Every structure is written in structure tokens, then in C-alpha cells.
Structure 1
Amino acid sequence: MVQWKWAVVTQVVLWLTRFIEVSFMVISQVLGTLSVADFLRDYWQKKPVLIRQGVPGFESPLSPEELAGLACEEDVPARLILESAGARPWTLRHGPFTEADFTSLPEDGYSLLITDCEKLIPDLMNLVQHFRFVPDWRIDDLMISYAPPGGSVGAHIDEYDVFLLQGMGRRKWMIEYPPKHSDFVPDLDIRLLQEFEPTEEWILEPGDMLYLPPGVPHHGVAVDHCMTYSIGFRAPLLHELAAGVTDRLITDMDQAARYGDPDLQVPANPGALDASSRAKLRAILQSVLDQDDAVLDRFIAETLTERPLDHAGFYPQNDPLDAKALRDEIAHSGDTLMRTPAARLLLVEYESDSAGGALAVDGQSTLLNAETLPLARLLVSQVFYDAAELLAATESEAAAELLQKLYADGVVQWQPNLLSV
């Protein structure tokens, strides 16, 4: 049984101000000897691939005790999944947890999982940013899990792409590919497969990584006390994308406009929607959708960057600074800014218009001009910003005001003192 070092855990809870710093190794690659082009061509959304030493020499920057300490914090998305005999073989518990929750755990048969870890600990973006060969709007979060020997969350299917990076200890991964089974065990707290027939299995050591496209049944079992770093991706549900765009189109309509029919003729059947009325109504609806590409692109970007309701707590309360004071702080303090990991930013830019576009941030967009476009390009191209580049991009008043607004909204924040980037 893990002897949770509660002196350490308590210390973590006390100094965790939701933005703790972690010691990070220098990361130069995340696909090992596999090139990004080969990975995207041969594997992305197509088939699984095991990448030995995808991150060579990777070591978990968090200990199990620190992960447990984080799970004791309010509003941290932590879960304990326990396996046991009996009528309900799997149990799901949600945090925040206490010392008693951990000291009363069995020797095996459980897993601790925390999602959105990079939003809780911004230093962890040092890892996540290396997966930006996939666009930002497809990256979801970093989940970190711990399990003692034999610990597992059962055989299951994810609806999203995921990289499973081993951070500590060893874990045996089994997959069923091509997939055969998709029925779930009824009446469980978690969605586990009724049947699972592994076709391949591997033991992953620190630095090894398994990529799985959506829908591949898989089952991971801890060989040792182990930690796994799961970089998960998201894809918009098409009906939600359509709803988000049409909601914005409707908002842009004249809210007082009504249907009119001054050319009304006596209907052959009052209870029928006649051909003339149908054609007129179709034309009205088609005119709503028949927008300039720039308008639709901006509304698509706004929809793709909408902030989930439960992410509000991931944004910092930055000290109030006006635009000039913010630039002065960047210029003279030795500190600089980074993108807040929870913030969602997308730039819409057209090759034919080098002085315009739109910056979508958390569901809203700002139209850009020649003064603000360079700043927007910088903000979306990087995660950790260079002070000199920020100052150069905010020499105009308009750009300085845009950066100040994003700072006031918590979209950007002061960088922690990274040991390695």
C-alpha cells in the first residue's frame, strides 16, 4: 500500500495557489524518431501507434503525493476510481478529497485521475505546447493519473484522440484493433466495455507513448506504482458547431423584422403551405446563411473558442494595470506574459488582406487592423511570450489597449519562473 506522505501533501495544499511551479526537463521532441509529417499521414485519426521514447528520458514533474495534494483542493476536477468485488465492481468518487480518503484506500485496485492539469499548473504547458502540430482548437487538456500495481480504470473507449505518455513506473496497455465491441456495462458510474478482446499489448516505461485515435478499445493496468500523462484532444459536435454559428447569425439579424406578404393571393387550401410561401420562406432562411466568408469564418472561430462554464475558475485575477503600466512592467520588471492555459484563442486571417482579420477569444472576437494584427499573430503563435517581442507588437496605442484588455480578462498572465522551457 502506498504510504501517502501527508506532510508533503499538506505542504502542497498550503502553497498551491492554483499556480504551483514544477521542475521541468528540457523537452525537444514528443514523437521520438517519428516525424510529424509521417505521424499525421499514417496514424492521426487512422490507427494506433506505439512510440518508444517519444519523449526521451521523460520524468514526471509531479510526484504521486503532489497529485494527491492537488486532488484535495476545491474545484479541482479529481476522481478516484475503485475496483472491487460485488454487485457494483467499479465505484467513482469525485474530489475534493481528504487525508482520510487516501489513507483508507486499499493496497491496489484504484486510480486517481485529475483532468485539466495544465490549467491548474501552467508550467505543464511546457509539455502540452509540443503537441501543437495539431491546431490549438483541437487540443483539450492534460490529464494526469496515478495507480498502484494492478490499478486500472477498466477497458473503455474514448471519443477523442489521445496520447498516453508514461511518466513514472510501468503500465501495460492492451488494445482491441480493429475495434469489435462497443457495448457498455449497464448501471455503472463509468462507461466500461462489456467485452474486450485485446489484439496487442505493450508495457510502457517512462518516456514511451501510445497514440490512440477515437473509438479504439483499450485497457491500461499499472505494473508498478505509475503515473500516466494523457494529452487529450477535442472535436466539435457538428450540431453544436451549427447551432453556435446560427445563433450568432440570428443575433446579427434585424430583431424587429417580420415576415410580410403584401402580394398574398387567395389560397386553394388554407391549411396548406403553398409553393409561393415556401419559396419566400426558404429565400429568407437562405439569405441568413448566405453570408460573406469573413463573417462565417469569424462566427466559426467564436464558436470553436467558446469557454466551458466550468473553466471560469482557471483564469487568474491579475493586478489592475492600464495599458502603459502593463508595458512598463513588461519592459522593466524582468517578468513577461504567457497565454492562460484555459484561454482559447484563434486567429482568422486572410492572405489577400494583410492588414485585417479577427481574433476570437473565448467565444467573442475582435476585428483587427494593421496596428493590432501583429500582436494577434504573436499571441496565437506562442504560449510563452518573449518580452521584447511583446513590446515590439504593442508600440501602437490600439495594440497596447488590446493586450491590456486580454490581461484584464485573465486571458494572459505572468509567466511562472520556468526552470526549463
Structure 2
Amino acid sequence: MYQFQFSLAEFMATHWHQSPTVIRQGLADFDDPIEPEEVAGLAMEEDIDSRLVTQADGKWQVANGPFEHFDDFPETHAQLVVQAANHWHLGVRELADAFTSLPQWLFDDVMVCYSQPQGGVGPHIDQYDVFIVQGQGRRRWRVGPKGDYQEANLDTGLKQITGFDAIIDVVLEPGDILYIPPGFPHEGDTLEPSLSYSIGYRSPKARELLSSYADQVIVDEAGDNHFHWPAMSAQPDAPAALDPQHLAQMDEMMMALMHDETRKKRWIGEFLSQARHELDLLSPDPQWQPDSLKAAMQDGLCLEKLSGLRAFYHADQPEMVFMLGESFDLPEGCESLTPKLCNQRFVDWETLGKAADNSLFWPMLTLWVNRGYWYPLEEAPE
């Protein structure tokens, strides 16, 4: 089990969204959760996002997976990248669990990189927060200040820039963590065969929020009313002028939609819980029935939440649960279960509490299990 060896509260107050920093032995006595051969195996899977970044004679190339084999994997200037490895590998999921105290609606994924000497993706800028955990091997990292930088190699999709002056220049050892906020240029260079893990946190853009909410208003068929003002007067001297009073009234029409808290809270929960990467969803065969699931859990069956499942709730409205872009209204009396469902990894009979006695709850839980959101464990965790 991975545990921070630093104060998360002090880190958040000092560095989060503010400044990059190096946390030496942030995860002390670090053991890699995955082997290089397993990284290669994931990169050969159809549903897993992967890419191989190479550089030869100053020319960058990116090949996207899935890959058939790695018989000719370069000995230098190469980096194999697997996105959302925590969705597909139990060990990487355990590493992700160390970071669950941070707001999970921001969490994106754990990207695993296997790098050969001098391998990397070049100097680049990301618009998300990232914790880079060094595994086996050593990598040199340089981080620069925010600023205006010239883009480079646009055809590769690597978001590269021509270069920067470093404010951090450090070699990471196993267990070291480098935190980089959005907008800070950085570059990793591999000194010896190396594994590293990027735990990313991505926030939505304002225009994404606005566009998504507008789509929700349309789906709900809300705001289907025209501008109407019986007090309107004629404008004989300036009929083409836009009257500020008219514009203010239209602004009120739009703001009335924006201030619909009921609609907005349901929309934001559904929006933020949408899947960002492919999930290892497996539907059980045969499908569970509510009675059989209840009986099995009474007999000790434990359920484990699917890795990468985005399950959220409003603290002041726990009767609603949001999962993968959908909202679910829990039966009355089951609200106390919501924080456990969303915050905990495992659910057993004791966890269910009063919800276990509610006949309306079991069809809902059965639906989630049959969709693969939770899956039965052969043995309950210790």
C-alpha cells in the first residue's frame, strides 16, 4: 500500500495550482506496481490508449498502439506510454489510491511510461496538474516558468515548444515526486531504463461547461419562451438602436436558466462523472437478479468498485448519485449510503446499512453490478 510521506495539507496550501516542486521520497521505499513487460502487454491491447515516442537525428515520431510486438524496441531515445493504466492493472490502481484524498472529480488517470536512455517526449506544456512519481531507474527533469513559448513539431501532437530556461533541474530517484501545475513547461530525459507514473488532474474549460449546460437546457426543452415585454415603446428617432432595457431583459431570460439550481446540480454531476478513458467493463453472465444478489451479500459477498468509475454526489443532496454521465435517485431512506458508495472501494453487507432492508434499493444495485460498475470479489479484503 502506497502512503504519502509528506503533509498533503501543507502541499495544497503552498504549491497546488501555484508552483512546481520536488518532493524527495514522497513515497518512501517505493516498489514499482508494474513491470516493463506488463506495460508492453497493455500497449498491445485494443482498448488501451498507448503510444511509442521516438527521436532519431532530431526528428520526433509518434506511433499509436495497439502494437503487435516489441521485438525491435529501440535501445535509446524511446518512450512507451500507456494511458489510464490504473483502469487495467491492479498494481497501478493501488498507486492511484494513494492520491484519493484529492478531489476526485478532477482526477484523470495514471499514465505509465517506460523509457529507454535519452527517451522522453521533449519540452512541452500541459494544461493540467500532474504528479510524476519516479519508479525504477533515474530521470532528469527540467521545469521552466510560465510564459509565452514558441510551439514546435506541431505534426506530432506532443504539444512541444522550442525550449525554456529551467527553474527546476533535478534527477528523480525511485519514490521521488515532481509536481507540475498547469502551464509550466517541462521536459524529462531518461538516464537509464526507467519507469515513471504521471497522476493527472484535469479541470474543465469554461466554454466546455457553458456548451454542455446549453446542451442540457435543450434536452430538457427548457427556456422555450420568446422575449415578451408589453411595456415596450416605439423608437421613432432611432428604430435601429438596441435599447439597453431590451438587452437587460434578454440577459434576465438567460440568467433565469443559469440560476435553475435543480437543473444545474443534476447536469454538473452528470457532466463531471462522464468517463474520460475506456473502462474494463465486464457484464456478468448470467446476470444477477435482485434476490440472488441480496442473498449472496448476506452470505458475505463483497463488491469492489470498477477502477476508473467516476461516482460522485452533492454533499447537500445525497439522494442523487452520479455515475458515468448518468444520475440515479436513491430510494428514500438510503441517502446515508451515498458517501460510502462514492468514496469507498468496497461494499459489503455491513456497508449497506439500512439500504439493505429497502426493497427498492436492490434493483438499482443489481443494475450497477450487471453493468460492471461493481463486481463481486472471490474473497473479501482484509
**Structure 1 length as normaliser, TM-score?**
0.81
Contact 2:311 2:342 (8 Å CA) reproduced: yes
Aligned to 2:13: 41
Q: C-alpha distance in 1, partners of 2:187/2:247?
A: 54
For residues 120 and 293 of structure 2, what CA distance do their matches in structure 1 show? 48
Give the percent of matched residue pairs that are identical in Structure 1 and Structure 2: 29
Return closer, same or farther for 1:391/1:126 CA change in 2, 3 Å cut-off.
farther
Does structure 1 residue 241 correspond to structure 2 residue 205? Answer: no
Pick aligned residue for 2:30 from 48, 58, 81:
58
Q: Counterpart of 2:351?
A: 389
* Residue aligning to 2:115: 147
How many angstroms apart in 2 are the aligned matches of 1:199 and 1:286? 44
**Which residue number in structure 2 is paired with residue 315 of structure 1?**
281
**CA distance in 2: counterparts of 1:345 and 1:141, whole angstroms:** 15
* Residue 99 of structure 2, aligned match among 122, 126, 131: 131
**Aligned amino acid, residue 250 of structure 2:** L
State the match for 1:346 in structure 2.
312
**Contact 1:145-1:227 at 8 Å conserved across structures:** yes
Seen in structure 2, the aligned counterparts of structure 1 residues 211 and 415 have a Cα distance that, compared at 3 Å, is farther
**Shift, 1:371, TM fit:** 2.0
The aligned length equals: 379
Q: What is the match of residue 224 of structure 1?
A: 192
Which residue matches 1:200? 168
**Among 277, 290, 295, the residue aligned to 1:328:** 295
Q: CA deviation at 1:304?
A: 1.5
Q: Does the Cα contact within 8 Å between 1:372 and 1:402 map onto a contact in 2? A: no
Using the TM superposition, give the Cα deviation of residue 373 of structure 1 relative to its aligned residue in structure 2, in angstroms: 1.0
Change (3 A) 1:57 1:415: farther
Aligned equivalents of 2:78, 2:379: Cα separation in 1 = 34
Structure 2 Cα separation of the partners of residues 187 and 282 of structure 1: 40
CA distance in 2 between partners of 1:287 and 1:187 (Å): 43
Residue 361 of structure 1 aligns with which residue?
Answer: 323
Structure 1 residues 362 and 281, CA gap change in structure 2 (3 angstroms): same
Q: Answer yes or no: is the 8 Å Cα contact 2:142–2:170 preserved in 1.
A: yes
Offset of residue 97 of structure 1:
0.6
Q: For residue 283 of structure 1, report the CA deviation from its aligned partner.
A: 3.5
Q: Which amino acid in structure 2 is aligned with residue 147 of structure 1?
A: S
- Residue aligned with 1:173, SS: strand
Report the CA distance shift for 1:363/1:216 in structure 2 as closer, same or farther (over 3 A): same
Q: 1:392 to 1:203 in 2, by over 3 A?
A: farther
Residue aligned with 2:364, SS: helix
SS at match of 1:243: helix
Deviates further, 153-162 or 110-119: 153-162
Q: What corresponds to 2:183 in structure 1?
A: 215
Provide closer, same or farther for how the CA distance between residues 196 and 256 of structure 1 changes in structure 2, counting only shifts above 3 A.
closer
Closer, same or farther in 2 for the Cα pair 1:196/1:281, shift >3 Å?
Answer: closer
SS of the equivalent of 1:131 reads: coil
* Distance in structure 2 (CA, Å) of the matches to 1:256 and 1:182: 45
Matched, 1:301 2:269: yes
Matched-pair contact (CA < 8 Å) for 1:139–1:233: yes
Question: One-letter code of the match for 2:311?
Answer: L
Q: 1:191 Cα deviation (Å)?
A: 1.9
Residues 122 and 416 of structure 1 are in contact (CA less than 8 Å); yes or no, is this contact kept in structure 2?
no
- Displacement, 1:274? 5.0
1:90 partner letter: W
Taking the aligned partners of 1:391 and 1:368, their CA distance within structure 2 comes to 14
- State the Cα deviation string for residues 39-66 of structure 1 (Å, max 9, x = none): 1111111112211221121111211111
Within 1, Cα distance between the matches of 2:291 and 2:328?
A: 21
Residue 368 of structure 2 corresponds to residue 406 of structure 1? yes
Q: Which amino acid aligns with 1:233?
A: Y
- Contact 1:122-1:340 within 8 A present in 2 as well: no
Deviation of 1:417 (Å): 6.5
Task: Judge conservation of contact 2:34–2:91 (CA < 8 Å) in 1.
Answer: no
**Contact preservation (8 Å) 1:44, 1:213:** yes
Query: Per the alignment, in what secondary structure is the counterpart of residue 346 of structure 1?
Result: strand
- Give the deviation of 1:138 after TM superposition: 0.7
CA distance in 1, matches of 2:376, 2:148: 47
Equivalent position to 1:78, from 50, 60, 63: 50
* Aligned mates of 1:307, 1:170 — CA distance in 2: 33
Give unpaired runs (5+ residues) of structure 2. Answer: none
TM-score by length of 2: 0.89
Shift of residue 225, structure 1, vs aligned partner = 1.1
CA distance change for structure 1 residues 384 and 128 in 2, over 3 Å: closer, same or farther?
Answer: farther
Q: Say if 2:110 and 2:197, in contact at 8 Å, map to a contact too.
A: yes
The 2-side partners of 1:416 and 1:156 are apart by 45
Per-residue deviation at 1:227? 0.3
In the alignment, structure 1 residue 371 sits paired with structure 2 residue 333: yes
Task: Report the alpha carbon displacement of residue 261 of structure 1 after superposing the two structures with TM.
Answer: 6.5
Stretches of structure 1 that go unaligned for 5 or more consecutive residues are 1-25
Alpha-carbon RMSD: 2.7
